[in-house]
């Protein structure tokens, strides 16, 4: 009997193994993120990782961002080039500040380009995408700061920072967007034990901002030149700006030596987008009463990213590297700003994709409405109706106004008799009678072109 028991257990285990994938490493699903997968990737931000214990006492962690899981995915599946975006939740043991769009659980949208390519072309595309998104969302003025990890490391080296302190000094420099230079210098010298002289030299550089001209100036800089790393970074920044000019985005991009981004996995270019609109919940420094030194109030970073060429190699058993560059967009922070803007203005946020509401002017027209909405759906038009047999016309129109549905197709006895539908523009309240056959073609035109609509309206003979 005991043999039978053992056989049964072995069979169960084999079944589970088959389920998880064979020895060839093709796993059907990833169960969890072991704690060690995440450690050593984030530097001083590691303390913000959420740790959990499973029933077996194994230490696990919730993902801190989408970049490390992406790198692990590439390594596991031996993918050497891919371009993709991903929207998902991440978790941080941070002090939440709802008004400023800082949460413990929030959505991020990541866009990454992985593969062995020529310098700065994919990097420039990532910046183009950030520029496009922030322009399109119309959140107000913004600025994209760029720097390079190699320039930072080179700068630390020539300023006399010991090698083993690069990362920790880097995460202190990263606080410059929240703290004045005095506080940052104080942390370097008194908490981290850097010499005052080295800190002052760093202070000179981190105050510099500019464009391609600054990169050229620094390439001539007696001190910076001593670092081959910094020179390589500066040459790439120049190249980057030449591509950004072609992409027509240099108006918002600034080369800023104070940008550090505290994460350990960056190896090259780094960037961060900040909104500079006054009047939208400013991010105040948490520990000091000083205002940010920026000439305009910032809302904190809404996107950030950079190049991380070594991360995939950390997960690959043979250490094979896949160069990557990407950007992370803080969706919830953007939402909180959009909501604040909407509250401040009278503008309605459109909460639906619906183009046409199918409405009835009289009672008992449910069947007709169902017929009409089916015609619209079959034609690929996004339409909606109220789930009532005899809704009031007013409540149907109010629903459109509240949720921003632009058009209403109204059915009544008269319209049915004439084989037409009354199409009403919710915003202007203009109406036009249109045949059922034309209706399928019409909403698309209408949404594209209001002039067309007025032209139609006046030339119709009805």
- Per-residue pLDDT of 251-267, as tens digits, reads 999 999 999 886 788 99
Longest dimension (CA), the chain: 92
Whole-number pLDDT of residue 349: 72
Handedness of CA 263, 131, 118, 220 (dihedral sign): negative
111-125, 216-230, 436-450: range with lowest mean pLDDT: 436-450
Q: Is residue 289 part of a domain?
A: no
Q: Tell me: the pLDDT tens digits for 157-185?
A: 999 888 888 888 888 888 888 889 899 99
CATH number of the domain bearing residue 330: 3.30.930.10
Give the pLDDT score at 140.
87
Domain shared by 360 and 322, yes or no: no
Instruction: Give residue 60's pLDDT band: very low, low, confident or very high (50, 70, 90).
Output: confident
Residue pLDDT, tens place only, 350-363: 778 999 999 999 99
In a shared domain, residues 217 and 98: yes
Query: Is residue 449 over pLDDT 60?
Result: no
Q: Quick one: pLDDT at residue 102?
A: 66
Q: Is residue 330 located within the same domain as residue 244? A: yes
Closest CA to 453 of 434, 440, 436: 434
Q: Specify whether 190 is located in the same domain as 313.
A: yes
Mark the binding-site residues for L-histidine, compressed into ranges: 65-67, 92, 108, 112, 261, 265-266
Q: State whether 268 and 368 are in the same domain.
A: no
The verdict on 320 and 173 lying in the same domain is yes
* Residue 69: pLDDT band with limits 50, 70, 90: very high
In the prediction, which pLDDT does 111 show? 97
Phi, psi of 57 (to 5 degrees): 85, 5
Same domain membership, residue 322 and residue 415: no
Same domain, 42 and 163: yes
Quote the domain boundaries for residue 178.
Answer: 1-283+295-344
Domain shared by 182 and 101, yes or no: yes
319 pLDDT exceeds 90? no
Beta-strand runs (E) in 174-252:
209-210
Residue of 144, 162, 66 lying closest to 107 (CA atoms): 66
Please give the pLDDT value at position 351.
Answer: 79
pLDDT in tens, 26-36: 444 444 566 66
- Whether residue 330 is found in the same domain as residue 371: no
Residue 313 lies in a domain: yes
Domain-located, residue 455? no
Encode pLDDT of 278-302 as tens digits: 544 444 433 333 333 434 445 678 9
Burial 421-446 (b: 16+ CB within 10 A, else e): bbbbbbeeeeebbbebeebbebbeeb
Q: Which of 417, 461, 455, 456 is nearest to 439 (CA)?
A: 456
Annotated binding site: 65-67, 92, 108, 112, 261, 265-266
**DSSP letter string over 330-378?**
-HHHHHHHHHHHHHHSSPPPP-----EEEEESSSS-HHHHHHHHHHHHH
Give this prediction's pTM: 0.74
Q: Output the pLDDT for position 17.
A: 58
Check residue 99 and give its pLDDT: 56
Residue 50 located in a structural domain: yes
User: Who wins on pLDDT, 17 or 191?
Assistant: 191
H or E stretch at 171: helix 166-173
342, pLDDT greater than 90: no
CATH number, position 400: 3.40.50.800
- For the beta sheet containing 431-435, the strands, ordered from the edge strand earlier in sequence to the opposite edge, are 383-385, 356-360, 407-411, 420-425, 431-435
- CA–CA distance, 198 with 189 (Å, rounded to integer): 9
Q: Residue 168: its pLDDT value, please?
A: 86
Residue 337 has pLDDT above 80, yes or no: yes
Q: Which helix (H) or strand (E) holds 38?
A: helix 35-38
- 300 and 406 assigned to the same domain: no
- The encoded tokens of residue 135 equal 């322009």
- The CA-atom distances, in angstroms, between 422 and each of 276, 327, 428 are 46, 47, 14
**350, part of any domain:** no
Q: Quote the Cα angle for 283-285-289, to 5°.
A: 120
Specify burial of residue 174 (Cβ count, 10 A radius: 0-12, 13-18, 19+).
buried
Percentage of the chain with pLDDT > 70?
79
Cβ neighbours for 436, distance < 8 A, ≥ 6 positions apart? 372, 375, 419, 420, 421
Average pLDDT over residues 370-397: 94
Judged against a pLDDT cut of 80, whether residue 408 lies above it is answered with yes
Domains in the chain, number: 2
Q: Are residues 311 and 421 in the same domain?
A: no
Q: Is there a domain that residue 459 lies in? A: no
- Model confidence at 16, pLDDT cuts 50, 70, 90, reads low
Q: What is the pLDDT of residue 437?
A: 84
Task: Give me the mean pLDDT over the 223-245 stretch.
Answer: 93
Task: Name which of 301, 306, 244, 318 is nearest 113 in CA terms.
Answer: 306
CA distance 163 to 147: 20
Q: Answer for the pair 140, 259: CB distance below 8 angstroms, yes or no.
A: no
How sure is the predictor about 149, in pLDDT bands with cuts at 50, 70 and 90?
Answer: very high
Does 454 fall in a domain? no
Residue 351 lies in a domain: no
DSSP-derived secondary structure for 310-341: SHHHHHSTT-----EEEEEE-HHHHHHHHHHH
Residue with the larger pLDDT of the pair 24 and 359 = 359
Q: How confident is the model at residue 368 (pLDDT cuts 50, 70, 90)?
A: very high
């Amino acid at each position: 009997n005991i043999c039978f028991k053992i056989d049964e257990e072995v069979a169960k285990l084999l079944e589970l193994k088959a389920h998880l994938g064979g020895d060839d490493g093709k796993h059907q699903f990833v169960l969890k993120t072991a704690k060690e997968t995440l450690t050593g990737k984030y530097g001083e931000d590691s303390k913000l990782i959420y740790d959990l214990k499973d029933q077996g006492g194994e230490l696990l962690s919730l993902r801190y961002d989408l970049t490390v899981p992406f790198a692990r995915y590439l390594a596991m599946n031996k993918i050497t080039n891919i371009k993709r975006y991903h929207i998902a939740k991440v978790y941080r043991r941070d002090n939440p500040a709802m008004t400023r769009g800082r949460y413990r659980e929030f959505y991020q949208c990541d866009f990454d380009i992985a593969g062995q390519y020529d310098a700065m072309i994919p990097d420039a595309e990532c910046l183009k995408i950030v520029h496009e998104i922030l322009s399109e969302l119309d959140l107000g003025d913004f600025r994209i700061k760029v720097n390079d990890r190699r320039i930072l490391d080179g700068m630390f080296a020539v300023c006399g920072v010991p090698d083993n302190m690069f990362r920790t000094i880097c995460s202190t420099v990263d606080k410059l967007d929240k703290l004045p230079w005095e506080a940052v210098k104080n942390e370097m010298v008194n908490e981290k034990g850097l010499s005052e002289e080295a800190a002052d030299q760093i202070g000179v550089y981190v105050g510099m901002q500019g464009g391609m001209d600054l990169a050229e100036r620094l390439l001539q800089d007696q001190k910076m030149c001593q670092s081959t790393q910094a020179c390589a970074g500066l040459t790439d920044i120049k190249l980057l700006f030449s591509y950004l000019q072609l992409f027509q985005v240099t108006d918002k991009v600034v080369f800023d030596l104070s940008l550090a981004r505290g994460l350990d996995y960056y190896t090259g270019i780094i960037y961060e987008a900040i909104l500079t609109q006054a009047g939208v919940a400013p991010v105040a420094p948490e520990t000091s009463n000083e205002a940010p030194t920026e000439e305009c109030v910032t809302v904190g970073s809404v996107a950030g990213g950079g190049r991380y060429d070594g991360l995939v190699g950390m997960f690959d058993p043979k250490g094979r590297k896949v160069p990557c560059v990407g950007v992370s967009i803080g969706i919830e922070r953007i939402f909180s700003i959009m909501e604040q803007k909407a509250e401040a203005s009278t503008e309605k946020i459109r909460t639906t994709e619906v183009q046409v509401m199918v409405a009835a002017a009289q009672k008992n027209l449910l069947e007709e409405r169902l017929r009409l909405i089916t015609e619209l759906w079959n034609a690929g038009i996004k339409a909606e109706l109220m789930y009532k047999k005899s809704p009031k016309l007013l409540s149907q129109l109010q629903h459109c106004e509240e949720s921003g549905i632009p058009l209403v197709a109204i059915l009544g006895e008269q319209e049915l008799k004439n084989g037409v539908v009354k199409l009403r523009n919710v915003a202007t309240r203009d109406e036009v009678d249109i045949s059922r056959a034309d209706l399928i073609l019409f909403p698309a035109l209408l949404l594209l072109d209001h002039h067309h609509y007025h032209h139609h309206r006046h030339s119709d003979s009805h």
